Chain A
Amino acid sequence: MSGAGGREPGTPDGAENDRRRSDPIRAGYRRLLALYPATFRARFESDLLQAFDDRRTEPRFTGTIGGVRLVFFLCRDFATSVPMTRERDRTRRSGGLMRDLMHDLRFSVRTLLKTPVFTAAAVTTLARGIGLYAATFSAVYGLLLSPLPGVEEPDELVLVYRHWPQIEYGSVSIPHYQDLRDRTADVFEHVSAWYFEPVSIASEGRSERTMAMVVSANFFQTFGAGPTLGRAFLPGVEDRDPGAHPVVVLSHGFWQTRFGGDPGVLGRTVTLNGHPFEIVGVAPEEFRGPVNFASPPLYAPLMMANVLTPAFDRIAARGNNNMNAVARLRDGATLERVGERLDVVLADLREEYPQHYQDQLGHTLVRQREAGIHPSFGEAQRSMSAVMMAVVGMLLLIACVNVANLFLARARDRRREMGIRLSMGASRGRIVRQLLTESLLFSVVAGAAGLALASVANGLLSSFRPPIDGPWAFNVQTNTTVLWFTATVSLAAGFVFGMAPALQSAKADTLGAIKGESSGKAGRSRASSALVVAQMALSLLLLVSSGLFLRSLQAATRIDPGFESPSNIAMVSADPGLQGYDEARSRAFWDRMLEEVTALPEVSAVGLATTAPLGLGSSDRFVEVPGYDYAENERNSFYYTEVSEGYFDAMGIGLVEGRVFSRADDADAARVMVVNERFVERFWPGQSALGQTVRTAGQEWEVIGVVETGKYNSLGEDPTEFMYFPLRQLFRADQVMVARSEGDPQAVLRRVRELVRTADPEMPVYDVRTMADHMGIALLPARLGSSVLGLFGLLGLTLAAVGIYGVMAYSVSQRKRELGIRVALGADRDSVLALVLREGMRMAVLGTVIGLAGALGAARLVRGLLYNASPLDPVAFSTVPLLLLAVAALAVYLPARRAARVDPIGALKSE
């Protein structure tokens, strides 16, 4: 094997060699060197292995993720270099190769175009498999494997977390971060920190609420992301003197969308939470922030934290852990050394601030490249993606086998052609090459189509936005790695299915082939029948599950959420607190809004609430009811919201007993509350709740009204206790305003926005939508479930249909003579048709039965996600199998019709 004799690495450093020997990637690589021509291998084998070893020690190729990256890297390398090294051999051997190749190509194009239906079926089958695989891979790569875009030497970045009992990945506080930064200079080049902060941004008369990123002054230096325009923050200057640096760096995207990429933006002012900040720089385009799922519009220095959120002193609070620390390793520093250093730092801090550090166990270090979305998802995110990759890999494999079946069926039809070409003196090698060219050409086309599909899917994925306002930006894009990956997969697929029929065709004994003899192999066709049955079962399972989600969506729209006609309720949120309003000004602002919106002619009722039902936020508090003792483990904390007068009318929540809040229930009045019917059943069954007392939030509250029980956290929930407190007695500045419109709710939303702008042009409003749209949040799991499963199921269905078609077509072409004899002996065409149909449908029915059994099992698993729909929903369980059988019948009918048209004379003559 090794022609280079003494150059084979292997004499000194035994430990290193042991490690190499146990490296499976190296072993695989060594085996794959056989792809190179013998002369090249003989000359360079040891050099190639040496170069491999050198690469393997690079930080980007070490560890598990590095290993995966290395494999892709090597695949690319093979794809470029194997043709490069072979070309020399070939051109030396025959000058006519190029001509042959062109001829093969032209011939292949013609053949594929001659049978458009076959080509289209095969191309779309493979394209779907490849497209799905590439899309899934892109998502996995973007979120788990790829380095952060626009970051220098990403392998040197390390995330630092505080390790507590039960908490492995704890955040850091500002003082703790500063100590880390100042005491680890021997192992870290930079230590930076960041956190997301909701802010209202106003500039040039426009305002919006978004998430800004508050970062340490050396943030951009740590990531090696030098600004496109202006400057980054100044370490040593802007990390001192809290409150003295009202400056911001814009993200490239925000600079483009908000300022049209105007280079004169430097020195201009934006207002953050009511405070002016000067724009000093623009971050580079590629850099999208320190996480791969969101991209902040702008960055503000850490020393301004207390200005942005004056509520408490973040900068001094050592116990307020809410930041993420990320550090850049010094050259040559290992995680081990860093760990030792941090242990020393922690021991020192423990002495200096015992109360803050006595519980901390240590620090957790994670390489940024290996963190994925968040390291605490650790194995889960990796195994989830492994499962996804396995499922789509299986679908791709099924697609390949199906296409192989199609090709096999056609190879039978072409045996004659092959036989004639062989007898005319064509070499077997030449014929195999022709067929391979054909299938490779085909797989290139399919690969391209697959890639197009994948980029559409990726576009959808990266523009996916959770229904919560935020600077979401999922790092999912069809990048070069994905491109190469897809190319490799599709070429490999082409090879896999191209090879088998090609060899079989060329092996054909000349005479038999010309005569049209068949050499049936029952085993193979039984295997493909089993495959078809499995496909049918799998796609039935997926489609039934998807159907269940769809039915559940239907059912959800019939659930009574406890308020009336949600599509007529307009919702607008605002937070005057973020604009720097104090309580009195906030109260005045909301009073003015209530008054002005009530005056709108198209609005019949208006109210405020701290949280709207069926959103993502909910609060609960401990409750004591005189005369009621909680059993052990009984829930004693209940959901609540603060609402203004008018809220119940605006939402259309029905009053059962007593009264709702009025304007008179203010801070000076007696403490009152409203509860729902479920609350009454719990604490005062069979009695009137009016006049009862509840102790909570440090005060006593008198129940003055009872309302109907609705849905609060999800549409599927069981009846839940709920409490309402008057906003005027428990004030909060951030409110959602709900207005019942008697006309077009969109018009109301526009009017409300205008009113807010008139009151304060810089007040950002957010979550502007109708209640019906807001409820979409509650329906999100069902929507996602039904569309993802539906997509996979439809894909499975088409694959199964093509599979059945392929197998039946193959079987018909194999039995042509038998069928011919039947016809010759007097069987009429209908009975031949029925014969073939029966055979095909047997597979379909068997698959359906198995699939139904599986779907019953799966239905149990998804039950928790269904609203009011039975997991044994008769509609889903009957429509889907019928649909599937109908598709299968069509797929069987086409070859069956061909069988019925068998020309008995021709079939018999071929003997």
Chain B
Amino acid sequence: MTRPDELDELLPLSPVTFHVLVAMADGPRHGYAIARDVEELTDGRIVMGPGTLYGSLQRMTAAGLITEAENPGEDGLHASRRRYYRMTPLGASALRAESERLLRAANVAQERLGS
């Protein structure tokens, strides 16, 4: 399976997938931090409970978008027993492709609205 095909199959990303990837864009994160980050990114529109969070993470792992990672050296509360995730190269290109797609769509919309 070539990479573009694989990407095509993944796009468009669901809002949850998209924001979870954005949350990890600048480094590994643990589950709850991802949930809080997504909540902030979406102004509280996407609030993920524990099951939804790990259900999505499991799916995204299976799709090859993310993978488990080492603790990047954080030492917060219970840091040692938290499970960390990072983006795979496939995840990064999917995020890039999706954000470009959204940007293009947004540009078209803005143009037609004449603003």
Contact = CB atoms under 8 A, between A and B. Distances in A.
A31 interface: no
Contacts of A43: 58
A84 B55 contact: yes
A15 to B, nearest CB: 14
Contact of B59 (A46, A73, A80, A84): A84
B58 to A, nearest CB: 7
B32 interface: yes
Interface stretch (A48-56, A292-300, A826-834): A48-56
Contacts of B59: 84, 88
A81 interface: yes
A46 B32 CA distance: 12
A76 interface: yes
B94 interface: no
Q: Which of B31, B35, B49, B62 lies at the interface centre, i.e. has the most chain A CB atoms within 10 A of its CB? A: B49
B31 A85 contact: no
Contact of B50 (A9, A52, A84): A52
A429 B59 CA distance: 28
B46 to A, nearest CB: 11
A88 B53 CA distance: 16
Q: Which of B51, B53, B54 lies at the interface centre, i.e. has the most chain A CB atoms within 10 A of its CB? A: B51
A782 B47 CA distance: 45
A629 interface: no
Given A47-B31, A50-B32, A51-B31, A36 B51 contact: yes
A98 B18 CA distance: 27
Nearest to B82: A50
Contacts of B31: 47, 50-51
Contacts, number: 72
B32 A77 contact: no
A82 interface: yes
Q: Which of B31, B47, B48, B81 lies at the interface centre, i.e. has the most chain A CB atoms within 10 A of its CB? A: B81
Interface string B24-66: 0000000110010000000000011111111110110010000
A85 B58 contact: yes
Contacts of B82: 47, 50
Contacts of A78: 49, 51
Given A9-B81, A85-B58, A54 B51 contact: no
Interface string A633-656: 000000000000000000000000
Interface string A23-66: 00000000000001000100110111111101100000000000
Interface residues of B, number: 20
Given A9-B78, A50-B32, A84 B52 contact: yes
A909 to B, nearest CB: 54
A85 B49 contact: no
B81 A51 contact: no
Contacts of A88: 58-59, 62
A47 B56 CA distance: 13
A50 B81 contact: yes
Q: How large is the interface on A (under 10, 10 to 19, 20 to 34, 35 or more residues)?
A: 20 to 34
A382 interface: no
B78 A48 contact: no
Given A9-B81, A46-B81, A51 B58 contact: no
B32 A54 contact: yes
A43 B55 CA distance: 11
A44 B55 CA distance: 9
Contacts of A47: 31, 50, 54, 82-83
A49 to B, nearest CB: 8
Q: Is the interface of B mostly helix, strand, loop or mixed?
A: helix
A51 B55 contact: no
A48 B35 CA distance: 12
Given A51-B32, A54-B32, A80 B81 contact: no
A39 to B, nearest CB: 9
A40 B51 CA distance: 10
A766 B43 CA distance: 43
Given A54-B32, A84-B59, A48 B81 contact: no
A542 B82 CA distance: 56
Interface string B1-41: 00000000000000000000000000000011001000000
A74 B78 contact: no
Contacts of A49: 50
Contacts of B48: 77
Contacts of B52: 77, 80-81, 84
Contacts of B55: 40, 80-81, 84-85
Q: Which of A36, A40, A76, A81 lies at the interface centre, i.e. has the most chain B CB atoms within 10 A of its CB? A: A81
B78 A51 contact: no
Nearest to A84: B55
A7 interface: yes
A55 B78 contact: no
A51 B62 contact: no
Contact of B51 (A7, A46, A80): A80
Contact of A73 (B49, B54, B62, B78): B49
A43 B54 CA distance: 10
A51 B83 contact: no
A85 B57 CA distance: 11
B73 to A, nearest CB: 19
A54 B52 CA distance: 15
A186 B106 CA distance: 44
A80 B54 CA distance: 12
A82 B62 contact: no
B109 to A, nearest CB: 23
Nearest to A45: B54
A120 B71 CA distance: 58
Nearest to A29: B50
B81 A40 contact: no
B78 A50 contact: yes
Contacts of B35: 51
Nearest to B47: A73
Contacts of B78: 9, 50
A55 B50 contact: yes
B11 to A, nearest CB: 20
A74 B81 contact: no
B58 A44 contact: yes
B51 to A, nearest CB: 3
Contacts of B54: 40, 44, 47-48, 51, 81
Given A7-B81, A9-B78, A9-B81, A48 B50 contact: yes
Contacts of A76: 49
Contacts of A46: 81
A42 to B, nearest CB: 12
B51 A81 contact: yes
A765 to B, nearest CB: 45
Contact of A77 (B50, B58, B83): B50
8 contacts: A36-B51, A44-B54, A47-B54, A73-B49, A74-B50, A80-B52, A81-B51, A84-B55
Given A77-B48, A81-B52, 13 more contacts: A47-B54, A47-B82, A50-B82, A51-B31, A51-B49, A54-B32, A55-B49, A76-B49, A78-B51, A80-B51, A80-B52, A81-B55, A88-B62
Interface of B: 31-32, 35, 47-56, 58-59, 62, 78, 81-83
Q: Which 9 A-B pairs have the closest CB atoms?
A: A77-B49, A81-B51, A51-B50, A81-B55, A54-B32, A84-B55, A48-B50, A44-B54, A81-B52
